[in-house]
Amino acid sequence: MNQNQKLISVRNLKKYFPLKVSWLKIFKERPYVRAVDDLSFEIKYGETLGLVGESGSGKTTVGRTLVRLENPTGGQILFEDVDLAKLFGESLRTKRKDFQMIFQDPMASLNPYMRIGNAIEHPLKIHKMGNKAERKIRVYEILEKVGLPPEEFYNRFPRHLSGGQRQRVVIARAMVTNPKFVVADEVTAMLDVSIRSQILKLLIDMKNEFGLTYLFITHDLASAKYICDKIAVIYLGKIIEIAKTYDIFKEPLHPYTKILIASVPVPDPKMKKKKFIPSGEIPSPINIPLGCRFHPRCPYAMEICAKVEPELKEINGRTVACHLYD
Ligand code: SF4
């Protein structure tokens, strides 16, 4: 594994969901929810890329499309030079052991009638990895790694576990096939604040031990700051800024990123931060504004912003899509 090499290259990815229309409107152009709208980025081996944005920005759809829980409408998902967007059937099933997704709600992710040991063993069975005895050894191993003593937890049901313990089980299940790439989608959102840092620490430990690469999806900038090497900011299905975590917190460039950073709570309430307040509501992903999609809410909007969509481009070593830097 070369840490300067790309594990994933996403190019012009699109995911549109068609809306149902009445037969009276059948001759009009069919409306779509443009959840992911022409988005490109890369993740190197061993890197954690944060995908941050408000609820409804398309983050989860990006994650689900990368691991092919959704079929892309267009674009490429190059995973070690294999285009996942073009895989179907058996070839996709075989590849699936290399990439996994951890979901927000651990209770909803687990079958309430399946014992913990069986739930973690399930992906090994699907991918025909090992015999029964070998699989049990592997499940014991991974339970140890996530901090759940196997003798105590192997035969328990999800309802007997706390929220934090259930999330550890979900992490164990995702890691049991020894994947290369994991999408972690709002994995701490439903946990108590006291448990969140433990789960983030566990993800970091697992990454270091198994040489994993993460896409870390969150609306919580504080978690992203803690765990991510780089951050991509998404707004209405499009990435509007990508930078190293340090740079994005020190000097956010895009007006929307400035708003997100300004909304992160500061430890000292006496410390004043300059607030950039957006005006108006987030537009619908069905009717995305022409030009810069952020222009109806942007305090710096200029005439050109309503007409021309800014490209995501490199400016002095930073990558941003905004006419302020043309
Ligand atoms: Fe604001 Fe214009 Fe930049 Fe969009 S392109 S963020 S509207 S200044």
Range 16-28 average pLDDT: 71
**Closest ligand 1 atom, residue 310 Cα:** 5
Average model confidence (pLDDT) across the chain: 91
**Closest ligand 1 atom, residue 304 Cα:** 2
pLDDT at 22: 66
**How far is 82 from 199, CA to CA, in rounded Å?**
31
**Closest ligand 1 atom, residue 298 Cα:** 1
Range 288-297 average pLDDT: 94
> How close is the Cα of 29 to the center of ligand 1, in Å?
29
- Confidence band (pLDDT; 50, 70, 90) for 71? very high
Residue having the nearest C-alpha atom to atom 7 of ligand 1: 295
Beta bridge partners of 243: 231
pLDDT at 286: 87
The secondary structure of 105-163 as a DSSP string is -HHHHS-TTS-HHHHHHHHHHHTT-S-HHHHHHHHHHHHHHTT--HHHHTT--GGGS-H
**How far is 293 from 290, CA to CA, in rounded Å?**
6
Asked whether 310 lines ligand 1 (CB < 6 A), one says yes
pLDDT at 275: 46
Asked whether 323 lines ligand 1 (CB < 6 A), one says yes
> How close is the Cα of 254 to the center of ligand 1, in Å?
8
Asked whether 278 lines ligand 1 (CB < 6 A), one says no
pLDDT digits 0-9 by tens, 241-279 = 999 999 999 999 999 999 989 887 665 555 554 444 566
- In this predicted structure, the answer to whether residue 84 has a pLDDT above a threshold of 70 is yes
Asked whether 158 lines ligand 1 (CB < 6 A), one says no
Range 186-211 average pLDDT: 92
Beta bridge partners of 216: 50, 184
Q: pLDDT over 90 for what percent of the chain?
A: 77
Residues 175 and 142 sit within 8 Å (Cβ to Cβ): yes
Range 316-324 average pLDDT: 94
**How far is 275 from 222, CA to CA, in rounded Å?**
17
**Closest ligand 1 atom, residue 240 Cα:** 6
pLDDT at 81: 84
> How close is the Cα of 240 to the center of ligand 1, in Å?
10
Least confident of 25-34, 266-275, 294-303: 266-275
**Closest ligand 1 atom, residue 299 Cα:** 1
Asked whether 298 lines ligand 1 (CB < 6 A), one says yes
Domains annotated for the chain, with CATH where assigned, are 6-98+179-325 (3.40.50.300)
pLDDT at 276: 47
Asked whether 249 lines ligand 1 (CB < 6 A), one says no
**Closest ligand 1 atom, residue 301 Cα:** 7
> How close is the Cα of 305 to the center of ligand 1, in Å?
6
**How far is 265 from 251, CA to CA, in rounded Å?**
17
Asked whether 49 lines ligand 1 (CB < 6 A), one says no
pLDDT at 32: 87
pLDDT at 279: 61
Measure the N-to-C terminal CA separation of the chain; round to a whole number of Å: 37
For a ligand 1 pocket test, name from 256, 279, 293, 298 the mutation site with the most ligand atoms within 8 angstroms of its C-beta.
298
Which residues does 77 contact at the CB level (< 8 Å), separation at least 6? 8, 10, 13, 65, 66, 68, 83, 84, 85
Q: What is the DSSP letter of 20?
A: P
- In this predicted structure, the answer to whether residue 182 has a pLDDT above a threshold of 60 is yes
Asked whether 295 lines ligand 1 (CB < 6 A), one says yes
**Closest ligand 1 atom, residue 254 Cα:** 6
Asked whether 79 lines ligand 1 (CB < 6 A), one says no
Question: Residue 201: how many CB atoms within 10 A of its CB?
Answer: 13
pLDDT at 105: 87
Angle between helices 116-126 and 163-175 (to 10 degrees): 20
pLDDT at 296: 93
pLDDT at 27: 59
Range 83-89 average pLDDT: 95
pLDDT digits 0-9 by tens, 139-174 = 999 999 999 999 999 999 999 999 999 999 999 999
Residue 49's alpha-carbon distances to 1, 40, 167, 230, 307, in angstroms, are 18, 13, 21, 5, 31
Structure tokens at 180: 């290369």
pLDDT at 3: 64
Structure tokens at 9: 């290259």
pLDDT at 107: 85
**How far is 72 from 300, CA to CA, in rounded Å?**
34
> How close is the Cα of 290 to the center of ligand 1, in Å?
12
User: 17: closest CA among 77, 49, 79, 60?
Assistant: 60
Residue tagged 């950073």 (tokens) = 261
